[in-house]
Amino acid sequence: MQHLSGTEVERLKHPHRLAPRRSLASMDMGLVLAWLSGLTVVLVVVIALA
């Protein structure tokens, strides 16, 4: 019974721990995409001016 309760507790804890990590990962990806888009715009402007 103790092992079963332990696994149940782990199952309950994992989703809560994984959820914030996933949200942070998605935020990081969004920031990276925004940074890359900014770099591409700068590169296009530099190439256009050159």
What gap in Å lies between CA 22 and CA 24, rounded to an integer?
5
pLDDT band at 36; cut points 50, 70, 90: very high
Maximum distance among all alpha carbons in the chain?
Answer: 72
pLDDT digits (tens, 9 = 90+) for 3-24: 556 666 666 665 555 555 666 6
d(CA 33, CA 43): 15
DSSP class of residue 8?
Answer: H
Q: Given pLDDT bands bounded at 50, 70 and 90, which one contains residue 31?
A: confident
* Residue ranges making up the domain that contains 23: 1-50
Residue 25 CA to residue 17 CA, distance in Å, equals: 13
